[in-house]
Chains A and B, each alone.
Chain A
Amino acid sequence: MPPRTLYEKIWESHVVREHHGESALLYIDRHLIHEVTSPQAFSGLEAAGRKVRRPDLTFAVMDHSVPTRNRDLPIVDTDARLQFEALARNCQRHGIRLFDMFSRNQGIVHIIGPELGLTQPGLTLVCGDSHTSTHGAFGVLAFGIGTSEVEHVLATQCLLQERSKTMRVNYHGKRPSGVSSKDLILALIGKIGTSGGTGHVIEYAGEAIRGLSMEARMTVCNMTIEGGARAGMIAPDDTTFAYLEGRAFSPRGKEFQESVMRWKALVSDPGALFDATVDLDATQIAPQVTWGTNPGMVTSVTGRVPDPSSFADPDQQKAATRALEYMALKPGQAMVDIPLDRVFIGSCTNARLEDLRAAARVVRGKHVARSLKEALVVPGSRVVKAKAEQEGLDRVFLDAGFEWRDAGCSMCIAMNEDVLLPGERSASTSNRNFEGRQGKGSRTHLVSPIMAAAAAIAGHFVDVRDLGVDVTE
């Protein structure tokens, strides 16, 4: 057998049928659903008189629109309430396990999947959410799907798929201190652009990736979709196995040891061919800050807002001009001179325990700048929240003037009441700086948790490397 990539190994082990001139039928091991993209799938299913084929492989959670405070009060947003009720009803009717907003295991779908041990190497996993790529950190083929595909998976536990092209991204050398996994992925998107990975599944490799914790690897894979690729993966290793041991859905004892033996084969074979390869020197990457309206519009914190005329392509020039107008920035402005209104530490990208620990190290004993209207910390899950509270991180943030909230997607997508007002500017640890993403007219700068924490204290961006704080993840 010719050498195969990790993607090809997982693909081939999940093909139910593949015939020339037809899409392949791919088996799905885990299906995660949430309140926003599933109601129409259930209505479609029921209208056609179909059943959920594998409720035992389907897991539901309320995350996108959940309030992050006063959760015990009635939900005032009627539309959101109806979506929560529809999810609860659909799960009950079809026998699907639901982590509702009062469950101790509730959280953002891409945080709780790994936390529960649902995400295991070699599996296929889908969810009606583009950041499903997160789970690829475990050597899982995981990607976001639309609602029609959600319905397809509910009914058949399979998806019709075409084989993707493959891309390997090598991060050479060690990541410098003060540089987070968020900076690694933003630097890549800055290099290849928001469509650089379209049509591909990315495998991340290299010394800087091997050195990352599982939580940091999830940040990298999470933002794969921002580079256009539907899925990003990292081959599992001892770091992965150590993370998985003892989780609720992880196998135990002898079964776990046997699983590890199988998981160890989940690597790209030497000599396996990729359709594209991208190389980055991790030692040269600095903390990143986005300046525009997509994650590819990014530069180093030491950099300046670019001049649109510096782009070669006329379409890119136009896009940059428009982005600067929307963001109310001037070419040549130093990134550290940009003043902020709000800071958001949260989202499926950066709201895990290590993110909160690192941010807490930066803010401990300091106070949020007076010029800031709000600084929010929204843990990615209730388990993360409880652990952080055991460590006293909530006190560190509260003493520094941050708000400490309950788990959910919150200001990343701003479907609940956590929004920016028109014209307001945020430093955000989330994944999208699109126009209006955090509220109509909102201006978002994407950064790592330690960069967001440092910006909250200063009221503007600062180079976190200059603070003299130990900020290793």
Chain B
Amino acid sequence: MEPFSKHTGLVVPLDRVNVDTDQVIPKQFLKFLTRHGYGNFLFNDWRYQAGNVPNPDFVLNVPRYQGGSILLARANFGCGSSREHAAWALLDYGFRALIAPSFGDIFFSNSLKNGLLLITLPEAQIDELFRRTESTVGYQLTADLQKQSLADSQGLNLHFDIEDVRKQVLLEGLDDIGMTLKHDRDIATYEKNHHPGAPLYAPVDSQSSPGD
């Protein structure tokens, strides 16, 4: 995972509540075997009209928001499906950070696992950021994870909260599987003391049937 420490970028405003992950990446793009290459399909059904023609009204197609890397969103962004493809598509498009009043739980952990910084701020501050983004062409923000701050060049400087555990994982770009494997002995002890396994008591019809 790529570490996240500090990022400055153009802000793209997506002024809708409850944006579910089906919108972030529709199901027709979930049939691939890789973690990469989803950026072109980000927000596909909003972004393109029939015949794959860009929808000029959708924010990602507006010229002033080209090259954006910070997505400003509304409450409950990323609710719904657990598809990690949503986080992959946002990253692949070029987003490094998302700012919203709240996020869906599963999307939140998926983003963290991929080094995408999710910043949660109160509604009033989000409203102010929407005002600034829409009124200033080329509006940029700097997200500094170490300092837990979000700042613009007009003197705005907001503090954001993030759990220490999550902050460290992002700052160091930690491989959490590798970290967990260091506790192999604890896991083995747990299994020895607590785990009966999943014995089968009657035949089932499966194709690959190890131990049948």
Contact = CB atoms under 8 A, between A and B. Distances in A.
A11 interface: no
A83 interface: yes
A319 B18 contact: yes
Contact of A437 (B22, B165, B176, B201): B22
B106 A144 contact: yes
A380 B181 CA distance: 37
Contact of A17 (B80, B165, B186, B206): B186
22 contacts: A16-B190, A21-B164, A27-B190, A30-B198, A37-B84, A50-B177, A88-B207, A91-B208, A97-B208, A103-B205, A146-B84, A146-B87, A149-B110, A152-B176, A152-B180, A156-B180, A160-B176, A162-B165, A195-B102, A228-B79, A247-B202, A250-B201
A349 interface: no
A97 B109 contact: no
B203 interface: yes
Closest 5 pairs (CB-CB, A-B) = A79-B31, A146-B110, A146-B84, A148-B113, A195-B76
Interface string B9-53: 000000111101011001110111111000000000100000000
Contact of B27 (A16, A21, A152, A414): A414
Contact of A440 (B45, B76, B80): B45
B34 A40 contact: yes
Contacts of A249: 198-201
A146 B113 contact: yes
Contacts of A23: 165
Interface string A414-433: 11000000000000000010
A300 interface: no
Given A17-B186, A25-B180, A27-B194, A198 B207 contact: no
**B interface residue count range (under 10 / 10 to 19 / 20 to 34 / 35 or more):** 35 or more
Contact of B106 (A17, A27, A105, A130): A130
A247 B24 CA distance: 39
Contacts of A157: 187, 191
A21 to B, nearest CB: 6
B147 interface: no
B113 A16 contact: no
A284 to B, nearest CB: 26
Q: Is the interface of B mostly helix, strand, loop or mixed?
A: loop
Given A27-B194, A96-B208, A195-B79, A436 B113 contact: no
B96 interface: no
Interface in A149-163: 149, 151-152, 155-158, 160, 162
Interface of B: 15-18, 20, 22-23, 26-28, 30-35, 45, 74-76, 79-84, 87, 102, 104-106, 109-110, 113-114, 163-165, 176-178, 180-181, 183, 186-187, 190-191, 194-195, 197-211
B206 A103 contact: yes
A176 interface: no
Contacts of A407: none
A248 B204 contact: yes
Given A144-B82, A435-B22, A88 B198 contact: no
Contacts of A319: 16-18
Interface-central residue, B197, B203, B210, by most chain A CB under 10 Å: B210
B180 A160 contact: yes
A264 interface: no
Contact of B181 (A27, A102, A156, A198): A156
A109 interface: no
B124 to A, nearest CB: 13
A313 to B, nearest CB: 9
